[in-house]
Structure 1
């Protein structure tokens, strides 16, 4: 699908964190809980926001300066997961305009779904609380296939479930990995510039077919305005 051929769209797939939902406050809170347990002061929640899309890797990088290569990372990651599970619903919300966007897609008979690197342990909790996700045609989590984005397997699993060709889908996300995965899967790609993006990210260089500054701008691409 080229950037000019949006008329072929049969379905829209979305990343979750930073694209459909703002989970950064709860992810940051979970990391701060680990700092408090070690006698460290809390960091401002805004300091975690840019890296919220990177999950435990991003949060532990901000909270403790750790990388997955550090010996203490695996243990802290499991502690972070437990902490996050306890506060996962405290402040997480759907981004402004998402409810209206989804309603407009549904009203135009376009299927929509979620493809995230977040483990099903957490996506199931979010879907249970946020009734919007009852209407998703498919939800693919980070452990649904043997691979995570930027590998295309999760996106290809989503279109297999939907029963449509990959070039009939577009994928919307706020991370370079989203664009890479979408392109590898043969989908059109849209970079959500209102999302987390990552530290020092230059999202306009990711090579997405289009960018949007707010969710409803997607309707302009799809000629649904």
Structure 2
């Protein structure tokens, strides 16, 4: 089955970019200041989609329901802002994928739950800002994913109807947001994927395991 769309919207972390090294590094920095040894990267990676909440949970065993979480979250944000471009890169096949999407005459954009404070400088540092038709962050609209508002805002900015878009992401919330927005949905099996239900049962119209697989879906349309 092909995807007949006019625009492709992507989640950012775990879909277009591998930000796990800097997010995990920030969490281990917080452990180091408390005299704790670094944890293996593999413990952090599945939780990257949960942002600061996930990183703090792994690093310090603290959840949003615990006293002191807000202080730790703000510390995490401040530390991450300093180092967020140190090791973060686009996944290897992503630049060629974006070139091919543009060659197909399709537009593309970014919809992330990351706050603008981090999204804008990070996207600019990676050179994605000058190519993306829209960049919508978690605080661009009053709601974040899985609410459809950010996806609908991206479609509005690009001048494309929601039903002419596909949303690609590596988290269940991405699929839920895409469905709520009336968009086609693709689960990015190369991403972080979390620790919940397996990607195959998220309900996405397609599950792809590489950017090349996504291109095949788009090129067939």
- Same fold by TM-score, threshold 0.5 exceeded? yes
Residue 62 of structure 1 deviates from its aligned partner by 0.6
* Alignment partner of 1:193 is 2:194: no
SS at match of 1:134: coil
User: Would you say the 8 A contact 1:14–1:115 is kept in 2?
Assistant: yes
Q: Which whole-Å deviations, capped at 9, do the CAs of 1:141-184 have from their partners, x for residues lacking one? A: 01100100000000010111111211100000000000000000
Q: TM-score under structure 2 normalisation?
A: 0.97
Question: 1:148 is paired with a residue of what secondary structure?
Answer: coil
Equivalents in 2 of 1:95, 1:183: separation in Å?
25
User: How far apart, CA to CA, are the structure 2 residues paired with 1:224 and 1:82?
Assistant: 45
Distance in 2 (CA, whole Å) between partners of 1:97 and 1:89 is: 19
- Total equivalences in the alignment: 221
- Choose the corresponding residue for 2:180, options 176, 180, 184: 184
Q: Which sections of structure 2, spanning at least 5 residues, go unmatched?
A: none
Alignment counterpart, residue 31 of structure 1, candidates 27, 34, 55: 27
Q: For the residues of structure 2 that align with 1:47 and 1:88, how far apart are their CA atoms?
A: 19
3-state SS in 1 of match to 2:141: coil
SS, match of residue 132 in structure 1: coil
Instruction: Determine which of 95, 98, 101 is the counterpart of 2:97.
Output: 101
Q: Which residue is 2:3 aligned to?
A: 6
Aligned-pair distance for 1:133?
3.0
Check if 1:52 corresponds to 2:48: yes
Q: Distance in 1 between matches of 2:183 and 2:196?
A: 26
CA apart distance, 1:132: 2.9
Give the distance between the partners of 2:131 and 2:158, measured in 1 at CA.
Answer: 13
Q: Secondary structure of the residue that 1:76 maps to in structure 2? A: helix
Q: Does 1:131 pair with 2:99?
A: no
Correspondence for 1:62? 58
| Alpha-carbon distance between aligned partners in 2 of 1:182 and 1:67, rounded to the nearest angstrom | 27
Find out whether 1:163 has 2:159 as its counterpart: yes
CA distance in 2, matches of 1:18, 1:162: 23
2:27–2:56 Cα contact (<8 Å) kept: yes
Structure 1 unmatched runs, 5+: none
